[in-house]
Amino acid sequence: MLAILEQWPSWLVNLVKTIVTIGGAYLVGRIINRVVINRLVRLASRSRGHWDDIISEEIKRRVVWWVLLAGAWLSLSYWQLNPSWRTFEGSAIIALVGISATLAASSIASRLVAEYGPRLSPSVPAAGLTQNLTRLIVLVIGALVILNGLGVAISPILTAVGIGGLAVALALQEPLSNLFAGIFLSLAGQTRIGDYVKLDSGGEGYVADVNWRTTRIRMLSGSMIIVPNSKLSQAIVTVMSNRRPADADVPVAVDVGVDATRDLDRVEAVTLDVARDVMRGVSGGVPDFEPAVRYKTFGESKVRLSVIMRAKKQGDEDVVRSEFLKRLHARYMREGLALAAH
């Protein structure tokens, strides 16, 4: 085999060595992933905390790529390159390693904030904005470290960014005002994810998330109120209840319109019977909860009422609402209770 290789041109021999090295590095990475990292993941899953699960999962996603880059680094020694090209290719590999490590660190930091943020500081929710800011900070620090490692002067870049930031701030006043208002809302803890709030505009519901631009509030009907952070920071907000656990049951309100000529006592009895059946028969319902019917408005041709039920946890509301409407429609058809046209 060696005699055959000696007859080949040098560039072909170097190419074969490079392919073998990179291919071997890929196989080594797969073996490390399967034997070592998988065992670490299993060990982490048995521990009490989740931080080791997060770290091991992120390493598992990238270990093959890291070993491949190591193989590429070794392959450089096979080629007779001029110093400038060798420096360039070495710097490119270092940059790729730094970028991959930075992405891993940002993902780990973001997931750790989501996992442990509410435990360490209940007043600061692990909202989308909090996680994104954490990811952004790690990415910026990683980028500066990579540039410094490549010999790029950071001071002029920071100066240029500072001057350019003033122009960007003037051009993006509204997005930035929403961003900083969202940061203020998260740090102040006046409204937290899971709080039931009522706005001075009349909307009310549970705070679902705070991102860089808006705050999402889930109404009892399932609809979503999207409020710009700058508007929410200036609004009069009544916090109706404190944050509830993620697995606590949630209210489900369904609005129904019926023909105004029907017997409302009979409408109420039939509607409650269907609601109780849904609470007991649907997996997402709360069996021991007693539904309620509240009449809301009375018009020339219809009466609007709201049916109050509960779901076991966030996410079950749609199942309860859908099954209730389906069963209610079928029952009204059998009972001759016409639904009002909108």
Q: For position 233, which CATH number holds?
A: 2.30.30.60
In whole angstroms, what separates CA 139 from the centre of its chain?
18
Closest CA to 282 of 252, 245, 258, 241: 252
Domain identity same for 266 and 216: no
Task: Summarize pLDDT for 302-326 with one digit per residue, the tens.
Answer: 888 899 999 887 668 888 999 999 9
> What DSSP assignment string belongs to 80-100?
---HHHHHHHHHHHHHHHHHH
25 and 159, same domain (yes or no): yes
Quote the pLDDT of residue 124: 47
The low-confidence residues of the chain, meaning pLDDT below 50, are 1, 123-124, 169, 246
Looking at the fold, whether 106 and 197 belong to one and the same domain comes out as: no
Is residue 179, in this structure, part of any structural domain at all? no
Same domain, 208 and 126: no
pLDDT reported for residue 178? 67
285 and 143 belong to one structural domain: no
Q: Tell me what pLDDT residue 106 has.
A: 84
Which pLDDT score is estimated for 155?
Answer: 67
Counted domains in the chain: 3
Which amino acid, one-letter code, is at 249?
Answer: D
Is 274 contained in some domain? Answer: yes
Structure tokens at 315: 């996410």
Of 101, 133, 166, the last residue of a domain is 166
**Is residue 265 located within the same domain as residue 294?**
yes
Look at the pTM and tell me if it is higher than 0.75.
no
Residues 160 and 198 in one domain: no
Reading the block at residue 312, the tokens are 């076991």
pLDDT tens-digit series, residues 35-79? 887 887 777 777 776 777 778 888 888 888 888 888 888 887 777
Residue 221 near residue 253, CB atoms below 8 Å: yes
Q: What pLDDT does 8 receive? A: 65
pLDDT of amino acid 253? 87
What's the pLDDT score for residue 183?
A: 67
Is 231 in the same domain as 301? no
Residue 74 in any domain: the answer is yes
Which two tokens mark 193?
């994810």
160 and 203 share one domain: no
Residue 25 lies in domain: 9-166
Q: Is 36 among the domain residues?
A: yes
Q: How far apart are CA 50 and CA 111, in angstroms?
A: 10
Q: Are residues 41 and 144 in the same domain?
A: yes
Radius of gyration for the chain, computed over Cα atoms and rounded to the nearest angstrom: 30
Distances (CA, A) of 246 to 28, 118, 121, 256: 42, 12, 17, 28
Same structural domain, 125 and 202? no
Residue 1 lies in a domain: no
